[in-house]
Amino acid sequence: MSAEATNPEAHPEARPELRRRGRSRIDLRRLGRAALLGPTSRDRLPDAIGHVAEAHRAHHPDADMSILRRAYLLAESSHRGQMRKSGEPYITHPLAVTLILAELGAETTTLTASLLHDTVEDTDVTLDQVRAEFGDEVCFIVDGVTKVEKIDYGAAAEPETFRKMLVATGNDVRVMSIKLADRLHNMRTLGVMRPEKQARIAKVTRDVLIPLAERLGVQALKTELEDLVFAILHPEEYESTRALIAAHAGERDPLPGIADSVRTVLREAGISAEVQVRPRHFVSVHRIARQRGELRGSDFGRILVLVGENADCYGVLGELHTCFTPVVSEFKDFIATPKFNLYQSLHTAVATPEGYVAEVIVRTRQMHRVAEAGVVALGNPYATATPDATTDPDEERVDPTRPGWLSRLLDWQQSAPDPDTFWTVLRAELAQDREITVFRADGGTLGLPAGASCIDAAYAQHGEAAHGCIGARVNGRLTSLSSALSDGDTVQLLLAQDASSGPAAEWLDHARTPAARIAISSWLEAHPDRAMAPTTAARAPLSVVGARGGGANAVADLPDATVRLAGCCTPVPPDAVAGFLVRGGAVTVHRIHCAAVAQMRAVGRTSVAVHWRATADCRVTLLAESFGRPHLLADLTEAIAHEGVEVVSATVEPPVEGRVRHTYTLQLPDAAGLPALMRAMRDVPGVYDVGRA
């Protein structure tokens, strides 16, 4: 492996904080020698964690360093004599992991647990000792990391490994923060292992840990892990990308000049801002090269503008778009609509008079901290908890900072039927890079992956009760369950009253979330007769014809003429009507506002005066729109009969996307009863609309 891959601190972009503060590169071997010399005097920190203390004070100037000293002394004494495969003293590993987290701004409790994260697993130190010395919080985190570390990382054990990792992460996201930093340091020193083991660890890192880092918003760890995995799994492409970056280093870089122009524009506008040039990391350069082909100088980095307030972000954007030529298609507002991983920024691109196009990111300094460190920047999620919140070590707790996507993963992982299904669905879920929020009819919200359908919303809201979902209203309009949802939609889910209702096999074609797919698959496996039923085979319309026909109760002022009620508008008393003479001497009767009336007059059809008979009975054709379910036709017919109405004929069309259309020709004893009849038909479960044909 190349030097850059084994030690990403060699990347100029990998450690912007180190470069900015002028800190020298850390020599882990020197730290190891310092650790072997034993503890120093009581009045100061051991030299081996001096870098950790310096990085920690940069983010937390008032932090109490005594707890870190005690944690280091316990870790150093318990690991003394242990060596890593690289030949370094083992204490260098927890020191390096803790330094990574300190650079990200982790709070003291996380750093303390990080120093001790291997002691319970690899030494004689017990959890009771950790609790007695450092308290319940540190003990809880160390226990969570230990449970993850104890899992077998063999290829066959990977699903169960990450199932337990998710559970530990859900209880406290600081557990995953330590795990990610632990994996980063292991990846940095992976060169001492056999190539096949390097490849296996790199694949697991690529498939699960990098997406988890993305989901938790820890971009600083994610980008370095990406470069390390890239170097191991794609060495040729990595080398070509490295050569591309090296060649660019010898050319004139236009980005510093563009950054100077941006500084001038903002200074003249009276906006206080810090403007930086941020080089792209290796994987980012590789992606851009594949998208754009030949790269120009401005493609190797981006311009970052840091300001104090949210309003200043939009002020900067206005100045940039005024003084440069904006590339409209590149504008994205992640401040108004933050990403699911807490990320907020304005993204734009501007063209310079020289023809360069520079990508610009605008954010506040707090947004920048969260963008780099994600959940690590949130500090202690239990800092404001009640004093008794964590006194019981066996009590399950839920991290108040737990992201919505993590809650979903924790919900469905309990019902995953087997490790292979869990592993497959986990990777699919982590591959989703965008999340939407939809509003429930009761005012609550649902967080769903982009592309989720009403089926996903149903299972997210109702769990297994969603098996009986028959439809949904999205933004007040009725739609099929397969309809995709958009960010900000309001969804009202309609559930069947029939307990025997269940999902159709084609629901799996539209389900995107693991919870929905697992629940549907489990139900279909438990009901094989329903799963195997043909759902898409073409069927002829079902027709039911009543015992007698009955004539129309409209009379035309034309002797011996046959009168027909038009099927397009099905007029009934007391509708205002118009009659027209058609072929065969028949007279068709339309409602006066029917569109066919104008057409009849336009083609010169003879108008015939018509009126209603004195009798109150009438014939009408109604269309009932419904969601398909067993016994629906019987229930509708019963509702019609209960109103004292006779069915002359009925036609049921084949289902389309789970929806069924029923056409009924009915003989009413009194036209005044038509509104009540239509209400009764609408009240039948599964029916969502009834109207005249």
By annotation, the residues acting in catalysis are 121-122
Q: What values do phi and psi take at 150, rounded to 5?
A: -75, -15
9-33 burial code (b ≥16 CB/10 A, e <16): eebebbbeebeeeeeeebebeebbe
Q: Name the helix (H) or strand (E) containing 446.
A: strand 445-449
Cβ atoms of 448 and 439 within 8 Å: the answer is no
Give 3-state DSSP helix, strand, coil % of the chain, rounded to 5: 50, 15, 35
Distance CA(423)–CA(203), nearest Å, equals 14
Bin 347: left if φ > 0, else alpha if -120 < ψ < 50, else beta.
beta
Cβ atoms of 113 and 86 within 8 Å: the answer is no
Alpha-carbon dihedral sign for residues 134, 137, 139, 142:
negative
List all residues 6 or more positions away from 516 whose beta carbon is below 8 Å from its beta carbon: 455, 456, 458, 459, 460, 466, 507
Rg of the chain, C-alpha, whole Å: 35
Distance (Å) of CA 21 to CA 58, 191, 362, 436: 10, 29, 22, 38
- Determine the length of the chain: 693
Cβ atoms of 110 and 180 within 8 Å: the answer is no
Q: What values do phi and psi take at 259, rounded to 5?
A: -60, -40
Upstream peptide bond of 534 is cis (omega within 30 degrees of 0): no
Distance CA(528)–CA(547), nearest Å, equals 39
Contacts within 8 Å (CB) and 24+ apart, 239-242? 239/2, 241/282, 241/285, 241/286, 241/289, 242/2, 242/4, 242/282
DSSP 329-373: GG-EETTTS--TTS---EEEEEE-TTS-EEEEEEEEHHHHHHHHH
Q: Name the residue among 162, 181, 106, 166 with its Cα closest to residue 138.
A: 106
